[in-house]
């Protein structure tokens, strides 16, 4: 298990799309962020579920460079 940071301005539990986006946005604002995710860092993702994103969510992800390619 990795050691958690001793100090953080913000702790986010859950590294899905919302948690990861929030962590990235806060970090880019200069905040010290700790993101806690149940899955190991190098674990393969084997999740066949579809993900529906609202237009606004797509815009937010695109704004931080997290969307690559075309979304149908």
pLDDT digits (tens, 9 = 90+) for 2-34: 666 678 999 999 988 889 899 999 999 999 999
Q: How many domains does the chain have?
A: 1
Q: Is the pLDDT of residue 69 over 70?
A: no
Please tell me the predicted confidence (pLDDT) of residue 4. 65
Q: What is the mean pLDDT of the chain?
A: 83
Q: Which whole-number Å values give the CA distances from 56 to 5, 34, 42, 59, in the listed order?
A: 32, 25, 29, 5
Q: Which residues contact 25 (CB under 8 A, 6 or more apart)?
A: 64
Residue 15 resides in a domain: yes
Residue 2 resides in a domain: no
- pTM reported for the whole predicted model: 0.70
Q: Which of 15, 10, 21 is nearest to 60 (CA)?
A: 21
Query: 55 lies in which domain range?
Result: 8-39+50-72
């Amino acid at each position: 298990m990795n050691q958690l940071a001793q100090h953080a301005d913000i702790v986010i539990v859950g590294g899905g799309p919302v948690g990861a986006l929030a962590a990235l946005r806060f970090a880019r604002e200069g905040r010290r962020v700790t993101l806690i995710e149940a899955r190991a860092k190098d674990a393969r993702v084997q999740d066949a579920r579809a993900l529906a994103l609202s237009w606004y969510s797509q815009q937010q992800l695109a704004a931080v460079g997290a969307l690559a390619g075309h979304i149908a």
